[in-house]
Structure 1
Amino acid sequence: MKYNVIVFVLSLGLLLNCSSSKTTATPTQIAALDQLVYSKSFVIESDWALPQSTNTMMALQNAGFFSAGDSASRISLSGNPNELRLDNENVSSQLPFFGEVQSTSGYNGSDNSINFDGTIKNYRVVKNDNSSYTIRFDARSHSENFDVIIHLFPNLRSEIILKGAKRFPIRYTGTVSSISEEN
């Protein structure tokens, strides 16, 4: 009997705790994000790179290749300049790449990061039920095509997923701001 009461209390506490963790966005946050997406003029700066955790990445982690606090599947970008900038029909990026490359990207490691600068193709925007947005488009770097998926949230947090033709997919998490706020 005493065991049943303890299990019931713990289960009830867990249920209440999970339901209270749901956050809702304020109308001001939603309006700010709506304006940012509709203007098609924003910049994303990432805090973390989240490469696929492959056997090679795990071998690098086991060899002590990563800095303290980093792992094969999560690498801090603090102090590492990076951005993805969307300005109307133009996109540019300077994002470091961590992960496996299926074929060489250039001579002398000249194209190891993800850099594209040009017009976007197949631009699509979907507003999700939780007031976040999913933006998809195609972009091209010097030697590779990318499928770009961006998730923007009302708290101005972001997630970028890049799928390249020659590299394993990678995710980045960070923050989004308007280009006018950046200056």
Structure 2
Amino acid sequence: MKVKLSNQIKIKSLVILLLSFIIASCGISRDATAEENERLEQLLQDKYFEFDLRFARPLPTNSLTQLANAGLFRPGDNASQINLQGSSAVFKFEGDTVTANLPFFGERQFGGGYNSNTGIEFKGIPKDLKITKYDKKDHYQVNFNIREDSESYQVNLTIYPSLKGTININSSQRFPMRYEGSVNILKVPKEE
């Protein structure tokens, strides 16, 4: 009886030790290399890049939760995360011009109607463009405002040296949306 109890204590101790190790290792982040930092700085200086979006993260409202509970989302998707792989989602900077054609999965507060965009679409020169480097958190923030027809957007990009990033979009007519993915460097056209 004592041997069996002793073995159970050893097993529980081992499990606790392993779980502690796993939890501690999840909190460890690696520092970016000098090469990764230089690549990111050059990318933001040139402003020729696009996002390869993996997930959309809408604000999980009661309506979206009801749709998910009714089984109207694809397998693996839910009210707070939708897989975008294989979609035609576009978000890119080409010098001074930014283009977006993103699916929208949230609620629209007002506006829209016939012949209006169902997704988030804009193309133009961003206003109030601000690029900020955060050394402590090892990333860049890109903030700007842009308008398309009667809808205005506040856009916040977070880009890491690993070229992973997020896009947060606040709209004047819709609930906020967040997109996650990786950044691809576009070829900078040669000046003639």
Q: How does 1:1-183 map to 2 (within 5 A)?
A: 6=13, 10=17, 13=21, 16-18=24-26, 21-108=28-115, 110-129=116-135, 130-180=137-187
Question: How far does the alpha carbon of each residue in 1:100-129 deviate from its partner, in whole angstroms, 9 at most, with x for none?
Answer: 000131315x31111101111000011112
Matched residues, number:
176
Instruction: Indicate the SS of the match to 2:109.
Output: coil
Tell me how far apart the structure 2 counterparts of residues 158 and 25 of structure 1 sit (CA, whole Å). Answer: 14
Q: Which runs of 4+ in 1 moved over 3 A?
A: 9-16
TM-score when scaled to structure 2? 0.83
User: Unaligned stretches of 5+ in structure 2?
Assistant: 1-5
Instruction: Indicate the SS of the match to 2:187.
Output: helix
Question: How far does the alpha carbon of each residue in 1:120-146 deviate from its partner, in whole angstroms, 9 at most, with x for none?
Answer: 100001111233100000011233000
The answer as to whether partners of 1:114 and 1:141 remain within 8 angstroms in 2 is no
Tell me how far apart the structure 2 counterparts of residues 68 and 175 of structure 1 sit (CA, whole Å). Answer: 23
TM-score when scaled to structure 1? 0.87
Tell me how far apart the structure 2 counterparts of residues 145 and 40 of structure 1 sit (CA, whole Å). Answer: 22
Moved more, 77-86 or 148-157: 77-86
Deviation at 1:163?
0.1
User: Unaligned stretches of 5+ in structure 1?
Assistant: none
The answer as to whether partners of 1:40 and 1:86 remain within 8 angstroms in 2 is yes
Name which one, 1 or 2, has greater alpha-carbon Rg: 2
Tell me how far apart the structure 2 counterparts of residues 48 and 79 of structure 1 sit (CA, whole Å). Answer: 11
Structure 2 counterpart of 1:96, which letter?
A: P
Q: Superposition RMSD on alpha carbons, in Å?
A: 2.2
Moved more, 88-97 or 155-164: 88-97
